[in-house]
Structure 1
């Protein structure tokens, strides 16, 4: 291991910067979810991954499950020393599917570091009116 006195300030501060940016403390995947008509749309931030290898999307029992396995390696060689870093992590997020959504209709796509999952649900029949309920008291 290289002597810390020979590292550049940016090499020493890099782990602190990543910590402050949340890279080392993130325990789940950041997502946004919204309804687009009758389709639930879930977008997850998963930059720098290979979706075929690193991302697993599944549905079971009315829930959408997103799991990400991250492995990063970096090596820094200089005249004064050598430094190697490995970061591993497993992150997951689960979201309820809308009522009536069929698991076989759920689709997923990945573009520019964003995973988008779409889960269509049948249109809900509009309410036929309001019915006032009598309250009995004794």
Structure 2
């Protein structure tokens, strides 16, 4: 006798996908222990981690990009409402394939675009790279500056 399962109309529609991902992770752990790959994990290693904050007059982005050989290995593009970082991290050695014992570091091209909280002046943006940290300063446009006006009550 087969066990009949009634379909719950309020069940999570992605529950089966989540279960499949968990099963794939367990299988991967068995096949390649210690490799570090996780199904469904974000590709964080391929994109710089970034903090963005704003002051009264500017928006500042601080990105971690360790391993750049020079500041010319990163391209910064600013529009009125977005910031894009592109570049390439190069391996400092030529060893590949079977000679690698353990590899965790990311090498290769990266690209990341983020929206900005307010409108900025792209032509006045500046960027500095030092000790693996890229800092981008973007002055706010007049539209992006928050103004406070006291309104009299009559």
Normalised by the length of structure 1, the TM-score is 0.60
Q: In the alignment, which residue of structure 1 is the partner of 2:90?
A: 71
Higher strand content, 1 or 2: 1
Deviations 1:72-126 (A, max 9, x none): 13449xxxxx9368x6422122122422x21111100011100000111143221
1:89 aligned onto 2:89 = no
TM-score (norm 2): 0.55
Q: CA RMSD in A?
A: 3.3
Partner of 1:117: 136
Q: Which runs of 4+ in 1 moved over 6 A?
A: none
Gaps of 5+ in 2: 1-33
Query: Higher relative contact order at CA 8 Å, sep ≥6: structure 1 or structure 2?
Result: 1
Match of 1:40 among 37, 59, 62: 59
